[in-house]
Structure 1
Amino acid sequence: MGNIISVLFVDDEPNVLTSIKRMLRFKRNEWDIEFAESGEEALDLFDKKIFDVVVSDIRMPGMDGAELLTRLKDEYPGVIRIALSGQVGLSEVVRSIRAVHQYISKPCDAETLVTKIESALKSREILTDPAMQRLVTEIDALPVIPSVFKSIEDELRKEEPSISKIANLISKDVGLVAKILKLINSPYFGLPSNIKSISQAISLLGLETIKTLILGTHLFSMYDEKALPKLSLSLLWEHSFRVSNIARLIAEKENLDKNTIIQVRMAGLLHDVGKLILAYSFPEKYSQVLDKIRETKDPINRCELSVFGTTHAQIGAYLMGLWGMSGEVVHGIGYHHSYDKCDLSIPMIVSVADMIDHQCVIINPDYGRIVIDESVLPPSSNAKLEEWISHISLHWQGITDFNVLDSDVIEHLRK
């Protein structure tokens, strides 16, 4: 395959395919592009070669896009699957959601189409192991905390469920948050791209849609803590929410623009989603990671690398890239343990926020404290750290004993 990316477009309307071919003429030296006018023709082409990306219409006669993409997910799980479709019904979204990585609305200009495809492919730069790429590409659902999911089910089944209560419950589980964010990209919903919160997303989606998606689609599986008792999903998500807020406060203190603050908050919230993927997919091997942490006191990403050949940061970034998260959020997730520049970028801020929280709250006494990388701090780093921690302490009291840990945090971060 080399550096040439193979992309297959599937649509029953020849005029649509002709338009795409014309739009993407400038990519002919970079992409190997083929076209199919039906699901059956697309499968025939796959018998001859495997494509990197498939972009399919949803509404087609005979084998529709939902069935085609589901077949491809089962038979060729490593393929990036994108739905390019106009207005479709909720039932069609429900049928396709487990097989689709991203949705793109029709009509679509060349820039949007290329950006979506290249953003999904760019995630491979973070996760380079082909076996792990195939694993992540197969993932269609994320495990959730059973108690949170049951509370949502109970609320949705009431005669007059509360949007704010459901939003608050969903916000307690990162797996639910990630999936709702993916759903926002569906052209069926037609929601704006600058959603600022889960509450806003749920309000715009509406309760009936939320009820159908959560209760009727089996998009979520229950996380069995007995399979890996050494890992508490609740504590992991509490850490993610704290990192999200710490990152937001640092960004606000540095007077970054509103969009960056939204992105940094989302990257902080999702920065550890890869731990869930590894722990759920490989509980026995992840138990080895936790044992290695206890024995060596090495950072978790180093122990994951020795066991899996990759880390939760890389795994999480790849999945979120496939699901259509912005490149800034994906890089914030993928490099939160390895960023080495002081540039107030999203990866840098998430890295610092993660380190600060690990100093303030001991999630697991077996974990060694993470030492900050001096390269992500400005020259007057002591003063800047004090400034950030003071601002966090004044504006958000969610971290245990933050006020009495200021000097201790800085001392440990710089050891």
Structure 2
Amino acid sequence: MSSKIRVIFVDDEPKALGAIRRMLRFKMSDWDLAFAESGADALALFAEKPFDVIVSDIRMPEMDGAELLRRVKEDYHKTIRIALSGQVGLSEVVRSIRSVHQYISKPCDAGDLIAKIEGALKSREILSDSTMQELVAEIETLPVLPHVFKSIEEELARQEPSIKKIAELISMDVGLVAKILKLINSPYFGLPTQVDSIFQAITMLGLDTISSLIVGTHLFSMYDGKSMPDFSLTMLWEHSFRVSNIARIIAEYEGLDKATIVQARMAGLLHDVGKLILVSYFPEQYHEVLNIVSKERKSVHSAEFEVFGTTHAQVGAYLMGLWGMAGEVVYGIGYHHSYDEYDMSISMLVSMANMIDHQCIIIHEDYNRFVLNNSVLRGQGGKKIEEWTSHIAKNWDGIVQFNVLDKDMINLLRE
């Protein structure tokens, strides 16, 4: 039996399918590729054997892409659904929005297309258990990326993206500008100077960090706190910012490359978004999670596993993978409670940053600081963590209530 990933591309233009076939010919040893010129042909191929990924054009005669992806969602809910299309009207977006995991704009080069598909597949690797699949099947729709983010993605895809253009796009949403500037200027982001414009923010932080900020802001703003008043959105947001900044500071201290620093910051910022999904869709069960945490003094992720059979880390990785985040960012989110290698990967940086924040920031007397069973602490990481926390305390202006981990505390964290 073949273990290849099965991917089907659907487009009524034979030339478009031919171009994709040529672009991906070197993936044929890894992927089982199929091509269909209509929705009906695609469903016939699904009936023979389901696909792991479907990439479909939206504008097609007879059965359009929105209808095709809707049917795939109903009958093959584990299939990752991607729309690869040119400019489409608002009505077409609305019709397909509940059935599409992510949109990819035409034209798209092979590298971008492969990265999007593999990023989505990595999220499924993290969430391969049947319990998670059942939970995902219950969710009618996942939050959709805001229009501003998609416009920025299109600009970033250009050979020479314009910071000025991206600043203009963000500035179209006054509320988003206000939120981003407020967050950037908070002590949790750790910038040395006041930032008073989006252009300045992009120049200082880079386009990738600003893009992840937009995603995070959108996710947190969609949450309705009325359904669960005992869940603190503010504390979660502030924790996410601190983890993002701690991961960045460690990466810079260790002299890692710019791409790793950016991805560590992104993964840190988004590492807990899975909590928002669980709280939003399963508030009653999450009440039970918080009761277990409070009464039994367990960590949140262990209580989540007890109730759901999965954790917010896995759910968040799934969401970010489906949205096309880089594979390393997806892994960093998915394994931020369980990674145990000292390798300076995104996963290690986020895992250590998360542990440092839970141990070094004292929110209140009853704050449940979990102890991480992490083999990193038994090796070189155990020696490094004292250096890192000392460096963080000295180089993070505005951070308060940060306790440096000494050798005695580190020994308590060991297995």
For normalisation by structure 2, the TM-score amounts to 0.74
State the alpha-carbon separation in 2 of the partners of residues 142 and 159 from structure 1: 19
Where 1:255 maps in the other structure, the secondary structure is coil
| Partner in structure 2 of residue 36 of structure 1 | 36
8 Å contact kept, 1:52–1:80 = yes
| Partner in structure 2 of residue 414 of structure 1 | 411
Larger mean Cα displacement after TM superposition, 289-298 or 99-108? 99-108
Displacement after TM superposition at 1:111 (Å): 4.8
Q: In structure 2, do the counterparts of structure 1 residues 240 and 35 end up closer, same or farther at CA, with 3 Å as the change threshold?
A: same
Matches within 5 A, 1:14-413: 14-25=14-25, 27-28=27-28, 30-46=30-46, 49-88=49-88, 92-93=92-93, 96-133=96-133, 135-136=135-136, 138=139, 139-141=141-143, 161=174, 164-168=177-181, 195-198=207-210, 222-362=222-362, 368-373=368-373, 375-377=375-377, 379=379, 384-402=384-402, 405-407=403-405, 411-413=408-410
Amino acid at match of 1:80: I
CA deviation map 1:118-142 (0-9, x unaligned): 3322222211223423544754217
CA deviation map 1:276-299 (0-9, x unaligned): 122222222222222222232222
8 Å contact kept, 1:297–1:367 = no
Where 1:196 maps in the other structure, the secondary structure is helix
Amino acid at match of 1:414: N
Larger mean Cα displacement after TM superposition, 371-380 or 252-261? 371-380
Displacement after TM superposition at 1:81 (Å): 0.8
Q: In structure 2, do the counterparts of structure 1 residues 363 and 135 end up closer, same or farther at CA, with 3 Å as the change threshold?
A: farther
State the alpha-carbon separation in 2 of the partners of residues 50 and 135 from structure 1: 20
| Partner in structure 1 of residue 152 of structure 2 | none
Which ranges in structure 2 are unaligned for 5 or more consecutive residues?
147-168, 186-205
Displacement after TM superposition at 1:98 (Å): 4.3
For normalisation by structure 1, the TM-score amounts to 0.74
Where 1:34 maps in the other structure, the secondary structure is strand
Displacement after TM superposition at 1:85 (Å): 2.4
Displacement after TM superposition at 1:354 (Å): 0.9
Displacement after TM superposition at 1:7 (Å): 2.3
8 Å contact kept, 1:371–1:414 = no
8 Å contact kept, 1:385–1:410 = no
Amino acid at match of 1:350: V
Q: In structure 2, do the counterparts of structure 1 residues 71 and 198 end up closer, same or farther at CA, with 3 Å as the change threshold?
A: farther
| Partner in structure 1 of residue 200 of structure 2 | none
Where 2:99 maps in the other structure, the secondary structure is coil
8 Å contact kept, 1:359–1:412 = no
RMSD of aligned alpha carbons: 3.7
Which ranges in structure 1 are unaligned for 5 or more consecutive residues?
145-155, 173-193, 203-213
State the alpha-carbon separation in 2 of the partners of residues 92 and 140 from structure 1: 18
Q: In structure 2, do the counterparts of structure 1 residues 398 and 353 end up closer, same or farther at CA, with 3 Å as the change threshold?
A: farther
Amino acid at match of 1:106: K
8 Å contact kept, 2:243–2:269 = yes
State the alpha-carbon separation in 2 of the partners of residues 314 and 159 from structure 1: 33
Displacement after TM superposition at 1:369 (Å): 1.8
Where 1:54 maps in the other structure, the secondary structure is strand
State the alpha-carbon separation in 2 of the partners of residues 315 and 50 from structure 1: 23
| Partner in structure 2 of residue 151 of structure 1 | none
Amino acid at match of 2:237: W
CA deviation map 1:5-34 (0-9, x unaligned): 332211011122234345545555654433
State the alpha-carbon separation in 2 of the partners of residues 376 and 317 from structure 1: 22
Give percent identity, aligned residues only: 60
CA deviation map 1:225-272 (0-9, x unaligned): 343333212211111111111111111111111111110001001111
Q: In structure 2, do the counterparts of structure 1 residues 131 and 54 end up closer, same or farther at CA, with 3 Å as the change threshold?
A: farther
| Partner in structure 2 of residue 182 of structure 1 | none
Amino acid at match of 1:267: A
| Partner in structure 2 of residue 211 of structure 1 | none
8 Å contact kept, 1:294–1:366 = no
State the alpha-carbon separation in 2 of the partners of residues 120 and 398 from structure 1: 37
Amino acid at match of 2:264: V
Amino acid at match of 1:385: I
Amino acid at match of 2:262: I
Where 1:414 maps in the other structure, the secondary structure is helix
| Partner in structure 2 of residue 210 of structure 1 | none
8 Å contact kept, 1:378–1:384 = no
Q: In structure 2, do the counterparts of structure 1 residues 332 and 160 end up closer, same or farther at CA, with 3 Å as the change threshold?
A: closer
Amino acid at match of 1:60: M
CA deviation map 1:46-87 (0-9, x unaligned): 455533211011232344323433443355433211122235
8 Å contact kept, 1:271–1:316 = yes
Q: In structure 2, do the counterparts of structure 1 residues 395 and 268 end up closer, same or farther at CA, with 3 Å as the change threshold?
A: same
State the alpha-carbon separation in 1 of the partners of residues 296 and 85 from structure 2: 51
8 Å contact kept, 1:56–1:84 = yes
